[in-house]
Structure 1
């Protein structure tokens, strides 16, 4: 395969090239270089590529380009492409990506995301127009097909994104029944970051007697290398996790947009209430919230309105592992949970600097997809995972998947887990002495005593009621009032902060090595005074404390103009204003 340095070498339509330029995509990724020519050749593909490598664009660009060419000679409007994804969030993202690539061809290509509507009647008018591209979950697609309002007789291509999750979310019956609605000869594309035996079953259901081409880059790793992604672990029990997390945030050790994962909805609300007590506001994502609200939260997080986003991926966790909390507790799961929810798989969170596993994921694959939300494309990222003694076996499973050689060496040496040698490991121990933040431990323990199960339950009910109202507004009113949509936020406090003093960090709680970095500390004030005296050339502390260099120059110029206007020697030759 020849290397392609620029997109125009792929002979794409000028409208698509212009849209790609607006997205600031400089050159095709490795997987795009491999997949795009094969899609043009109408091959049935099984594509395996790591998360964040540009898989969506790899199939969307050639498909859209073919549609634009076929439109020149098409006699009637028909649905030519179906894109299936296991979650509503992923469907929304695929629809958004296609919309961006069709920016300059919106009049020629139409697409509809059928996963968002609760009632088929809501999207029936759009489907009856036979859009070129249908995007949705398998269950939603089958519901539309059984209603008779959609025909796939002219279908040419079907794409299954995150194919290995299709059966995990319980869509096997839908995929099997879908075969009867498809033409005999179509192009099928299966995309995923991790492929298993599921792909073989899907291939048999969708297309029979086809020659499949497997696309897998050589030496393809699950996650970016150490030069791009740094993976840390902190050994901490449950009670210490809260204190360490708040210390990392309040001492500004962790900076930038941060995605924090927990394993349950209750845990997520508990953590949000805890952070609110310390004046840290965070948005929240879980399966109980309406899909419109979830999509809006992701959009606002990507645009930088929130620095912290708390998320659960309990849908994937429930499917991939057995419930470890006992039967009684599992019966209390809310009935309103959306089984088509998922944020750790496929969702393109933009410019995420850090991913924090507050609860260590139950499976290695779930770890890969959580951490894969950062260090995407060519960006740098950091992953920080809290690991308790009960979770050390999970950590070993992740190490065995991502670093088989290092895991084998550690097993051969027989070193105890508490004396683990990290020289051959992909993980680095986070150098954090808990003794230096004892003050935070006492404060965290005091706050946690007030966050009871009743308070968490009330917070969940309040949040759901608010988001249901927001979701209805998002469907109607906000579509015509964009400024109000921009003002709608999802990180409002769930309760009144009863202890406002917790927002500030006293100087005695700050470790000596970090005092110079803390805003408002005596060390930072003294450093600022030294800088101002050195740069403003004055010893007058009363003025240098409040007037920076730019302001001082503005005042100096204003005073000079005033003196000039008051000097009669500068008034000669000035035109006098006419009186009367």
Structure 2
């Protein structure tokens, strides 16, 4: 199937061709026709399956085909997402897909001065990408109104739950018009998320793609049994033998990420750490350096890594195992994208082995054990 067969309008097709999008992914094939028909939708999909385009393209098409009846632009579409990095990434996608339309969009998030964001909002925008905290803040200042919202997207709902944003979302819902289209996306559906979706959606269509097994089947996974004091030496050895141009290393804590970065830099391995204690400017510079290839290795916590989307990321290393098995799938799903091969290495100490068993149960795959170099 092609994007043209999905009845995508010419301006968006032109943008897709220029970005060399040849054919839609599975979730795009299934979501776009439903969204174009105005239906509410629950999408169960892992990160990296193409869901941003799945909701962005139909929203752009529906809004661009409607005549703007007054000179003052009101926010007609709201995309709510948990992290600044992900918000910026989604905004970049809207820039690509809406390039040949007359729609205006912008992104707002906390951690930076609001002045520039407010100035852009006052110029008028049709589509707003936002994180919950900054959105509620600007609503309380009467800078933003949600009265004209026609399309509402809640992205990464399970991550919203993990980060404690469910209360904020429940606070926002009464501010939205009852008559609207809602697109709800989550990688997993714990009870709290299922309950939230039922309270938000009207007769939704459920679309589920890329189950855990299919995501992990595309990635070569190896397991190293190594105690904590020896993990840094193993990491240095592994990176010294690797020729991958981009390597993402996961640390469970912010302090741990900084410590790993210091150890690697002392060994002459250029790397940077990214986590929530870094300023927004520092995080954006780190991501830019990593995406451009200036920095080969990045050490990230789970939340900070949500904005990392690199097509040629060849290797993910779990320096620490996560607290939840599903997070392992999110982590390794950063590699092996867009048909590329990918690998994931996991360092496991004795006290972390219970999590390995949980991961193997979830994925249905036994991790290949690799001997630690002497």
| TM range, smaller chain | over 0.9
Per-residue displacement from partner, 1:386-407 (whole Å, max 9, x unpaired)?
A: 011111101001111111xxxx
Deviation at residue 182 of structure 1 after TM alignment: 1.2
1:379 to 340, 351, 357: 340
Find the counterpart in structure 2 of residue 247 from structure 1.
237
Q: Is 1:148 paired with 2:142? A: yes
Cα separation, 1, equivalents of 2:227 and 2:336 = 27
Q: Is 1:11 paired with 2:37? A: no
1:24 to 20, 31, 36: 20
Find the counterpart in structure 2 of residue 168 from structure 1.
162
Matched-pair contact (CA < 8 Å) for 2:111–2:279: no
Aligned pairs, how many?
Answer: 373
Cα separation, 2, equivalents of 1:50 and 1:170 = 20
Deviation at residue 120 of structure 1 after TM alignment: 4.1
Deviation at residue 59 of structure 1 after TM alignment: 0.3
Q: Is 1:110 paired with 2:101? A: no
Cα separation, 2, equivalents of 1:73 and 1:283 = 45
1:351 to 312, 333, 344: 312
Structure with bigger RCO (C-alpha 8 Å, 6+ apart): 2
Matched-pair contact (CA < 8 Å) for 2:252–2:320: yes
Find the counterpart in structure 2 of residue 365 from structure 1.
326
Deviation at residue 179 of structure 1 after TM alignment: 2.5
Moved more, 46-55 or 235-244: 235-244
Deviation at residue 177 of structure 1 after TM alignment: 2.0
Find the counterpart in structure 1 of residue 188 from structure 2.
194
Cα separation, 1, equivalents of 2:16 and 2:373 = 48
Q: Is 1:299 paired with 2:260? A: no
Q: How does 1:64-79 map to 2 (within 5 A)?
A: 64-70=60-66, 72=67, 74-76=69-71, 77-79=73-75
Cα separation, 2, equivalents of 1:52 and 1:29 = 10
Find the counterpart in structure 2 of residue 180 from structure 1.
174
Matched-pair contact (CA < 8 Å) for 1:51–1:223: no
Select the structure that is richer in strand. 2
Deviation at residue 176 of structure 1 after TM alignment: 1.9
Moved more, 139-148 or 345-354: 345-354
Q: Secondary structure at the match of 1:188?
A: strand
1:124 to 118, 125, 139: 118
Q: Is 1:157 paired with 2:97? A: no
Q: How does 1:44-55 map to 2 (within 5 A)?
A: 44-55=40-51
Structure 1 pair 396–161 and aligned structure 2 pair: CA distance change class (3 A): same
Structure 1 pair 179–273 and aligned structure 2 pair: CA distance change class (3 A): closer
Q: How does 1:88-487 map to 2 (within 5 A)?
A: 88-105=84-101, 108-116=102-110, 118-207=112-201, 210-217=202-209, 220-221=211-212, 224-226=215-217, 228-250=218-240, 252-253=241-242, 255-313=244-302, 342-345=303-306, 347-403=308-364, 425-430=365-370, 432=371, 434-435=373-374
For structure 2, the residue ranges without an aligned partner over 5 or more in a row are none
Structure 1 pair 349–198 and aligned structure 2 pair: CA distance change class (3 A): farther
Cα separation, 1, equivalents of 2:372 and 2:283 = 37
Find the counterpart in structure 2 of residue 567 from structure 1.
none
Matched-pair contact (CA < 8 Å) for 2:85–2:306: no
Deviation at residue 121 of structure 1 after TM alignment: 4.1
Cα separation, 2, equivalents of 1:100 and 1:198 = 34
**Structure of larger gyration radius:** 1
Q: Secondary structure at the match of 1:344?
A: helix
Per-residue displacement from partner, 1:534-574 (whole Å, max 9, x unpaired)?
A: xxxxxxxxxxxxxxxxxxxxxxxxxxxxxxxxxxxxxxxxx
Find the counterpart in structure 2 of residue 448 from structure 1.
none
Structure 1 pair 79–117 and aligned structure 2 pair: CA distance change class (3 A): farther
Q: Secondary structure at the match of 2:161?
A: coil
Cα separation, 1, equivalents of 2:263 and 2:173 = 50
Structure 1 pair 225–184 and aligned structure 2 pair: CA distance change class (3 A): closer
Select the structure that is richer in helix. 1
